[in-house]
Structure 1
């Protein structure tokens, strides 16, 4: 299945607002759908920088950079946003977007080892040029730590018995082996959901440090935005969405007044203004079922 960009027009339209030039960032290039639409809306003086860790995405990005001199692809996580942009003498940008979902090619290509639907090597790394594979990581991690990760990142209520079964199974090299171990250990399956869904999600999030990267990315994004610059982030599961929601809420709310009745001027530390929260339309969900759980949150940088 080719990758279909989720909430494509909603994200790009919210990001550019009324601008047609400036410096913009796509924190998760993927296969470049959002970036291409963004470039089509900008003039010849604009610049777009995109980040990705996936070697296949980087190859697509390199091809786009060869076609369009306004664009550059950066081999790094968006958690390194400030460092990478400042290395390019960029101190502030006009908009930053990120799509936190795993791309369809990553899920559908068996050799990437992300999915229990396609048997392949137990890998799951976004950047498969470095770091531990899922197979290596599962051998190394302690049972209690694995159970906690499956519970926290997969929101799996049977995390302890699943972790026990995985550790008892010993070395596994394929996604099918892991899926079968989880299936046998799982006492109660959710309707229309494979019993390994939550466990695979949890392991993928842990290996790729997905939530840690989001936590590092969000404050850097606000730091890098110019006044009236927009931040647009698409999330696909509750853990990510909660992080983004709470971050925007904190950055857009006046701090509590703890003056204990004493007259004093309250310091306004707000850096963001909430703009929108958008869910995929029924029509988009019909065309692309993976958009069903997607939420787009948009915020705008306030003047310091």
Structure 2
């Protein structure tokens, strides 16, 4: 399937490429953003990715743009601990890439049969481990919180019953169980939200995002831009809350309630636009995966004087608990 860098025109507009500046593409994937940045001006780009399978694509870009591009194999949550100087922009496209979804052997999608894996880094517990070892209550919590699945309890119950008969090791097996358990309602496959929830859990995507926000806050140069594209409501809520807190805002800001000034550390970000930017109708028509995308932008101001953590408490089992059971 063709690779689409989601909301590329909007990202480029927010980035405002300038010669000599250094940009971090924190979710390199298939290199769509990085290549567009390099083409857009005489800038330098550092790609980050925890997926070792992106190495050939990164090597090709490095050869094509000698001295202007390099890849560092690391989670984007560690972007401030890989020895980079202050950078002028950090761009994060949160979630799974088209490349990962389209490779059946990676186990991200119910549309292609393959091992029930879902690991971006290919280390640690897999989705198959989760459905094998977690309790019904734990699975229900994951499906309800990370997938916002209304029938999470029934989905978890049917998985527990199925695994007592035989191990669930492939995407097709799990998708079939969920289709029988939840039934078809409309165009969306009944496995969609559960697969999303397992992927988010196995890769600790929300925890990684929280850490990445703080890392970017420390890595950006003055007036540096932090550009984040999300695809899930929980991701967007985390980004929205972080940006507004760091911009010195609390509750309010609607026509019924004014923005309340925060007392505490000096604001470390300014928000050029408080609302989200969404993809154009033309993009959604061409690439259905972009339909849930939202982009938020913040501009770096003062040095951070905030707590190191941006993590929000979520009532879900810890990934480390699953690791301990392997």
Corresponding residue for residue 134 of structure 2: 141
Q: Distance in 1 between matches of 2:85 and 2:216?
A: 11
User: What are structure 1's unaligned runs of at least 5 residues?
Assistant: 257-265
Residues 34-81 of structure 1: CA deviation (Å, up to 9, x unaligned): 1111112332xx431111122222221122112222111011110111
Normalising by the residue count of structure 2, what TM-score does the alignment of the two structures yield?
Answer: 0.83
Partners of 1:210 and 1:131 in 2: how far apart?
A: 14
Asked if 1:83 is matched to 2:78, the reply is no
Separation of aligned partners in 2, 1:303 and 1:218 = 15
SS for the counterpart of 1:230 is strand
Q: CA deviation at 1:219?
A: 1.1
Q: Deviations over 1:201-231 (max 9, x none)?
A: 0000000111110011001101111111000
1:118 is displaced (CA, Å) by: 1.2
- Give 2:30's aligned residue: 31
Shift of 1:254: 4.7
After superposition, the Cα gap between the structure-2 partners of 1:268 and 1:80, relative to the gap in structure 1 and judged at 3 Å, is: closer
For residues 13-28 of structure 1, what are the structure 2 equivalents within 5 Å? 13-15=13-15, 17=16, 19-28=18-27
- Please point out which of 22, 28, 44 is paired with 1:47: 44
User: Distance between the aligned counterparts of 2:213 and 2:37, measured in 1?
Assistant: 21
CA distance in 2, matches of 1:57, 1:293: 25
SS for the counterpart of 1:5 is coil
Q: For residues 196-275 of structure 1, what are the structure 2 equivalents within 5 Å?
A: 196-254=191-249, 269-275=266-272
- Give the alignment's TM-score, normalised by structure 1: 0.89
Alpha-carbon offset, residue 255 of structure 1: 6.8
Give the superposition deviation at 1:268: 5.4
Runs of 4+ in 1 over 3 A off after TM superposition: none
Match of 2:153 among 147, 155, 160: 160
What is the alpha-carbon distance in structure 2 between the residues aligned to residue 106 and residue 136 of structure 1?
19
1:117, CA displacement in angstroms?
A: 1.2
- 1:114 maps to 108
Quick one: distance in 2 between partners of 1:280 and 1:38?
A: 19
Residue 125 (str. 1) matches residue 124 (str. 2)? no
Partner of 1:94: 88
CA deviation profile, 1:262-298 (whole Å, cap 9, x unmatched): xxxx655211111243110011111111111111111
Q: State the Cα distance separating 1:94 from its structure 2 match.
A: 0.6
State how far apart, in whole Å, the 1-side matches of 2:185 and 2:246 are: 37
Q: Deviations over 1:96-145 (max 9, x none)?
A: 001113222211221111111111111111122x2222112221222211
C-alpha RMSD over aligned residues:
1.7
What 5-or-longer segments of structure 2 have no aligned partner? 252-262, 304-326
Q: Which moved more, 1:165-174 or 1:29-38?
A: 165-174
1:261 is matched with: none
Render the CA deviation track for 1:179-217: whole Å, top value 9, x for unaligned.
Answer: 111122216x44211111100000000001111100110
Indicate conservation of the 8 Å contact 1:146/1:163, yes or no: yes
Q: Are the counterparts in 2 of residues 96 and 231 from structure 1 also a CA contact under 8 Å? A: yes
Point out the more displaced range, 159-168 or 149-158.
159-168
DSSP-derived class of the 2:48 partner: strand
